[in-house]
Amino acid sequence: MRTTFDRLLAPLVLLLLFTTSGVGSPLRNTPIVRAVKRAKPAVVNIRGEKTITDDGLQAGHGQFGRRVNGMGTGVVIDPRGYIITNHHVVDGVQPIRVTLDDGRTLIGKLIARDTETDLAVIKVDPPDDMQVITIGASSDLMPGEPVVAVGNAYGYEHTATRGIISAVHRSVQVNDAQYYDDLIQTDASINPGNSGGPLLNIDGEMIGINVAVRAGAQGIGFAIPTNKVMKVVARLLASSTACNTWHGVALSAKAGACDEGLAVVAVERNSPAAAVGLKPGDMITSVDDIRTRRNLDFHLAMLQRKAGEKIEIAVRRADNPLTVQLTLAAAVKKRNEPTHPAWTLLGMKLKPIPADEFHKKHHTKYRGGLTVKAVRPGSPAADQGIRSGDVLVGMHIWETVSLDNVSYIISRPDFAAISPLKFFILRDKETLYGYLPVTVKTAQR
């Protein structure tokens, strides 16, 4: 039986509930709201123009096309202005316009890219430190757990959509040129312009990079898992820093974060790391007070360093902490580095294919070709999207059956007149072509 006191108290309770449900109420400040607030300052919008042909493909050198506007999203991973996005967002875009959360627009520069995973790193020069995204783990994702996608959907900046993880480890063929594997599937709305933006967990941590939608289907979007993103970006940045400095440390390729630090798996002989006594099995816990939980942390700490610069590395060895002062050396040419002009000039390590093997595998009009064994980051070949495993079958008007064919083309006295150099490659069952922007200055090196 309700007492008189209960009848008097009930309206007061209701009044209190209505009063506290206004602005600033804990009832409105849900985990999703907090997740978006936490990530939003580290999410940028990317816009630019590129030239495409009538069939929708990016125009090559000398091809006519029309200028179209592009849009996408990026995620800040370093306060100095390093940003992750999808390669297709910035491919062929000039200039790359990056709009920050506070409305400022900066011009970005492409630092490195990986066409196979469709990831790229760009750099802006902010007047002050930028807020960095909080990186979460993608190794323990659960179907059904809530997620939020943030991005420049259809040009509407910082759009947030919510959903769940529908599945993990999905493989998706987007078009003839792009295949993704091991993707996160979500029903959070991912639209054109979301590409390159973060997929967040309920704690506001990035657990994926939004990359694709299923054409004609609603509620089916995909993201690259964070662990894979971190592994690829760390490799890209390691290749970038290796062009200028040398430390001699090889780290474990484990992608996830480790509170104990980064495991040293090898130390090069006569390297700066060997000189200060670093050993396999050491755990690097920080570089110049920058905590290193992922490989990416270490390689970010090495960016913009110069030969002769001293860095302080904190190490844990058999549960004993120690600190070493390592002096970076200038990058040195490794003994086994390819020296053929195809590598030094174009950025491709090529290997001849025996005639019988070529014709058995490739049923084409070409007499033969050269397998691309490696592509140097930042080279003309890398810039044109050539991959390891491609088969080079021609350049300009000549076939490339042997390395001598390539040497002949590069050493011709009229080489400058045929640059940018048109190339033809076999990839799967298709013949693709493009143009290598090799300048006379580059050719004379």
Strand 245-246 with 221-225, pairing: unpaired
Query: Which residue out of 78, 118, 282, 297 is catalytically annotated?
Result: 118
User: In the chain, what's the furthest Cα-to-Cα distance?
Assistant: 105
Q: Which of 138, 166, 189, 195 is catalytic?
A: 195
- 21 a catalytic residue: no
Instruction: Decide if 181 is catalytic.
Output: no
Q: Which residue type occupies 410?
A: I
Check if 271 is active-site: no
CB 210 within 8 Å of CB 221:
yes
Q: Which residues are catalytic?
A: 88, 118, 195
